[in-house]
Amino acid sequence: MKRRTLVLAGLGAGGLLATAWLRPGDRGQPHDAYFQALSQELKANGPMRPVMLIDLDRLDHNIEVVRQFLARSGKQLRLVEKSLPAPGLLRYLGEQLGTQRLMSFHQPFLNHDARLFPEADILLGKPLPVRSAQLFYQQHSGPFDPAKQLQWLIDTPARLQQYLALAQGLGTRLRINIELDVGLHRGGVSDTQTLGQLLQLIADHPQQLEFAGFMGYDPFVGMNLPSVLGSQDALLAKVMALYQGYVDFTRQRFPALWRAGLTLNTAGSPSYRAHEQERLSSEVAIGTGLLKPSHYDLPSLAEHVPAAFIATPVLKRTGALRIPALDEKSRLFAWWDVNQRETFFIYGGNWQADPISPAGLQLSGLYGRSSNQELINGSPAVGLAVDDQVFLRPTQSESVLLQFGDLLAVRGGRIVERWPVYQE
């Protein structure tokens, strides 16, 4: 054989090997026993539309992890309502974890909280426009006493002046919790001069304002930050040094405002575990970590397990991927990638979520997203048929949990509760 022929033959064989090596492998697998049981339960007893599932067995595991932390640290727990936006879910967690403390972020939900949880102690999780506070009082009724049970979060002297005027107009007293910037840099007090102005305003108007404590949110302590930015221990030390400085300033300059029982709130789901040893803060706030969506796959939450899943039925199964206008030319995609040889259109879609079961499903960037009938591809190995369920794992909880109507609580693969979510 001529040398040129040998070279070409070698190049041809090498090209085929390279092509075979570059082609995606088959990632498809059918539902495992866990998701297969859920699929069957939803076929038999579900609404056959998109739903949000809360797995109580998995949730109980996360509850136990938090319970053990609370026992070791001696801290109180405040449940973050925006991340767990269903009264039934909040009630279940409150009973299991022995807390009546809530953190609220939205005026309509705050009014629901005050009505549904009349014994609760509620701390606002962000400073609300004073008009929102005014609407709360206009709409509030029932035994919940805001003057004793509600803390408004304040970040600037200008906002506190607005709240002072509101208190004077209503003839009531407002409990004021001051937001501290302990490193997140999303607003809040960042110097003692501003803190002094706030505390002086409170001290000058004892009939309208009461100092209730501090909130210092530090989720970045538990995030996967580059090591060059500091270790978790180093970041926490900086946070607590700032927090301690504001506490010391208040105790020294405004001793009449300091008392036992102030709310010294800190942490969030990503960072709560870091606060086990420090003794300055009195409570931690936890919400999303109890459900552990995918954006919370963090080393700090390694002991937590995912407890929330979206389930939705397959409406159509149409074979290999076909792109509009390309028509039969689309066969190239399925030839190249075995994971595009089955096409499924699901009920709904375009959520902040990723397919998790059957394994190997993938969204199509070529076809585009849809909130009505999302296209998902897979290999024949996924074994899906029309009316089978596709499961997705949300990336976050708060707004996503509000998109499906009642949450379906499942235990042992069976639907055991239906929990309505908050409404405006």
Please, what are the domains in the chain?
Answer: 26-51+306-420 (2.40.37), 76-281 (3.20.20.10)
Dump strand ranges (E) for 250-346. 263-266, 283-286, 308-319, 342-346
Average confidence (pLDDT) over 37-53: 97
pLDDT of residue 1: 45
Contact 55, 309 (CB under 8 A): yes
pLDDT of residue 13: 47
Contact 181, 239 (CB under 8 A): no
Q: How confident is the model at residue 325 (pLDDT cuts 50, 70, 90)?
A: confident
| Per-residue pLDDT reduced to its tens digit, 66-91 | 999 999 999 999 999 999 999 999 99
pLDDT above 50 for 9 = no
Neighbours of 245 (CB within 10 A): 15
Q: Is the peptide bond before 358 cis (omega within 30 degrees of 0)?
A: yes
pLDDT of residue 20: 61
Mean pLDDT of the residues in the chain: 93
pLDDT of residue 230: 75
CA distances 289 to 51, 52, 69, 182, Å, are: 20, 16, 13, 21
Place of tokens 């991927």: 321
The token duo for 127 is: 């400073």
Spatial neighbors of 222 by CB under 8 A, at least 6 apart, are 232, 268, 269, 270, 271, 272, 273, 274, 298, 300, 301
Q: Is the pTM of this model over 0.85?
A: yes
Contact 71, 276 (CB under 8 A): no
Spatial neighbors of 50 by CB under 8 A, at least 6 apart, are 310, 311, 312, 347, 348, 403, 404
